[in-house]
Structure 1
Amino acid sequence: MNRLAVLLLLLLIPSALYLVKVRHESRQLFAAVERAKQEQRKLNDEAMRLQARRTELTSATAAERGAERLGMRLVTPEHTWYVTESQPPASKNTSKPPQPRKPRTTP
């Protein structure tokens, strides 16, 4: 019986050490998975932020911002000057160029 106890003890010690090693590896893998999940959440947040920024900077929005910064406005008849050919040609002795007509107002 004594020999059996020693044999079981010799089998138990490596088994216990192997169990400790497997538990330690399991904890390390769990921590790595949690870090990967946290990184994934961070990257998803960044992707959503970049997608929102891209949507914000579409060409229409960029044109609106450019128009706002440069003071541009839509062309309307009030801001249009019309030049017609019915004006007499400028004589060679005249130093002043022909003046454009004032804009027409439409009813």
Structure 2
Amino acid sequence: MSRVRCFCLPGLLLSLIVAPPVKAQFPAVPLATFTGTVHDMDGKTLTVEDADAKTLHFFCTHKTRYFDGSKKIKGSDIKPGDHVSVESKTAPDGELEAVNVRREHPKSP
């Protein structure tokens, strides 16, 4: 009859028991920034015309954040004629999703 010996590394087992869970680290998705004048804002879609008269449509979600300069505001505060900077990402369906919408106040010359 042969004897089987079991070696246990208490430190290793202890570290497996008390170690905090490791969260996966994903690289941040770069955001594209667009600037222009608000043409329309219906709550779900923000339509902006850029300096080249190109119309851009951004899908707004419950995660979209709105700012006036650095002050947080509501999406309903964004009005046609406002000059905005929109940080967006491409949604899975290929649409532009607004992440941050910042109302800007152009400096007078």
Bin the TM-score by the shorter chain. Answer: under 0.3
Q: Taking structure 2 as the reference length, what is the TM-score of the superposition? A: 0.23
Q: Which has the higher strand share?
A: 2
Q: Which has the higher helix share?
A: 1
> Greater CA radius of gyration, 1 or 2?
1
Relative contact order, higher structure (CA 8 A, sep 6+): 2
Q: Taking structure 1 as the reference length, what is the TM-score of the superposition? A: 0.23
